[in-house]
Structure 1
Amino acid sequence: MWHWRIWSCGGHHGPMTSHEVLGALALTTGGYSIESLSLGPLQPGEARIRVRAAGMCRTDAEAFHMVALPAVLGHEAVGDVLETLGDCGDIEVGDRVAVSYPSCGTCPECGRGRLWLCERNWALSFDGTRLDGSKPITWQNQEVSSAFFQQSSFAALANVPARSLVKIGAHIPVDIVAALPCGLLTGSGAVTNVLEISEGGCCAILGTGAVGLAAVMTARIAGAADIVAIDIHDDRLKLSRELGATHAVNVGSADAEAQIRDQFPQGISHILDTTGSAQAWEMALRVIGRGGTFAFVTTPEPVEMFTVSPFELFLKVASMKSVLLGGANPREQIPLMLQWWSQGQFPIERLVRSYPLEDINDAASDSACGRTIKPVIIMPD
């Protein structure tokens, strides 16, 4: 087990010198290497946090092809505020916080409180720099892509915008919190904010990874009468039934679509795709009900194109919606999920497996092959 001394600056509220910190560096050759990194000074409006844990999801894997390498990734942190600089709103030294997605705070959509529609969201997430072009982390005296989602939290310290922070109770296990800020927020928010599934409703969830299972649990909490989980893995489908799905369909079977049509001859009113599969889209458009809504949270690749006919949508007067970050404000959705968890309605622990930082490559491998639904990286003391 790695042990790395982290110096806390207590209640200091001004710029500081760089900090040596242990972190995982994503390499051009693939995989991660545990390295000594240097984290630079804060900028106004930022907080330095001692990262306790960070969730891992498919976005981290895709980032190997989306950001300049080497890079420090990680975008679902939970930690403790060590210091702040400038106006950080209600964030104070000593707070336990979750770190969610970034937003600029100045564009019209941010001004309306719709942070997930921030005009600079993509740049803030994937450019590997702050908006001013600076990179907070260096390695061997060279700048590396960092400020990933404005946090780069696969390291024991992170400089993060205070506006990305959500205060949470210090009594909540860090692996529970670290599962929430991106993937589970997306799945739960897609149900509550985009599809707006209500009591007695009918929905299908294509793909039962972390995002899909969060959607299943949220649909159950919303009181949906019919929740159809669709996947190719029987073990995931079994878990989905345990978490609230009323039907489970393995699309690997020859009669999968016939099973859905037999159960729902009028079609399914709300469908969420979490797979980014063209075949999933095609099936969804065939089984959607009249006036229904098809929502998707990802595509196969940002630049990949595939063809689906809009005629099925037109005939059924159905609609298609893209979902980014669950259409959710983190300061609303994360506390809501934690409230459900505390009530026993949102058993996040059923999805999570924790890994020490030095085993981050095992976490990535287990996630890629489906062995682990939601890996969480635990930082060294």
Structure 2
Amino acid sequence: MIQTSPAPDLPFSFAALDDRLEQAGVDILISSSRHNLAYLLGGHRHHFFEAAEAIGVSRYLPLLVYPKGRPDEAAYIAFRNEKDSLQNRALEGRALWPATVRPAASGVADAVALAIDHIRAIGGPGGRIGVETHFLPWLAGQALRDAFPAHGLVDANRPLERLRAVKSDAELDRLREASERVVAAMQAVMRSTRPGTSKRAIERALRREEEARGLLFDYALITLGTSLNRAPSDQVCRDGDIMSLDSGGNLDGYIGDLCRMAVFGEADAELEDLLGEVRTVQDAARKPLAPGVRGGDVFSFAQAALAALPSAASTTFVAHGMGLVSHEAPRLTAQGPISYPADDADLPLEAGMILSIETTLQHPRRGFIKIEDTVAITPDGHVGFGDEGRGWTRAGLEAPPRQAGP
């Protein structure tokens, strides 16, 4: 029986997936990226390969084979040591939905061979095969071409990305929690960091604070004083410095990515004005957001406000989608720091979409000043996730927590 509404542990419906594949001309999907597999399988991730995917002379390559309109004939090709995790899921009443689950692969060659065997067993591809071209090893792609020479391989990234763009209520809850926890962790680090602390030590402290809040620490981009360099280093903070913390931490794979500002001392009038300019752009970009608004117009809203500011020449704005991937659909510009086509710029925003909105002012005398917010599109407008701390936070007001060990 074909599912037409989401199962309790799936953030999508098979009908919606089938519709996306039909629009893309895909008859059978082979998904291979970790993010899309986790999405399509209701959050399943194999713990053994969380840190690295290489093993022996090959790599971990799980595959989901999904024939459009026939979810009952789908198969999950898993690594052979995945069987225990899959057994535990079944015992807990959380068995994966594909009727065929084969924890038998030990690398790329046999994973794709098992996928090919399954496709032949269910009658062949029928038409074109959709693969994730950026996430499928060359060896696997060649094997599929050789096995099915009459059927073209097409990129399935776009239909999967558009499917993920509208988040379920459960996904929105995770993104809200991730955002709030990242901001809380950053503010805790800001308030406990004293002059003389290095950027490397700040990064370690932020990792501890995020992990203590149940997040998987992804990264920290840190500036101190007048430097515009955001990489970890031995640079130390000093009295009067400003500090930006831009960090990503994820909850069950869903990313919280925000940036907040702190000052070691009192923020003077100029600093208040400069951060006020950044907030003006952020607020102008956010205010009109609602379902039906053209996605690319978020840049028009921001640029109109930015043009009137004293520091316009030193200020940049960008907005992008967020979720399981940093910079995912809706993709609203081809001119941002990450190169990709603006496929969603002319499409309307929809309730359930997530935008990361960020304004950066690089002041020649005062340094790097930035706010990055996470905004969810709601049926009647929008809401910010993790909106605390959008002003200057006083650094060093609290004692750092005691740490066990050396």
User: How does the TM-score come out when normalised to structure 1?
Assistant: 0.29
Pair member with larger Rg: 2
TM-score by length of 2: 0.27
Higher relative contact order (CA 8 A, sep 6+): 1
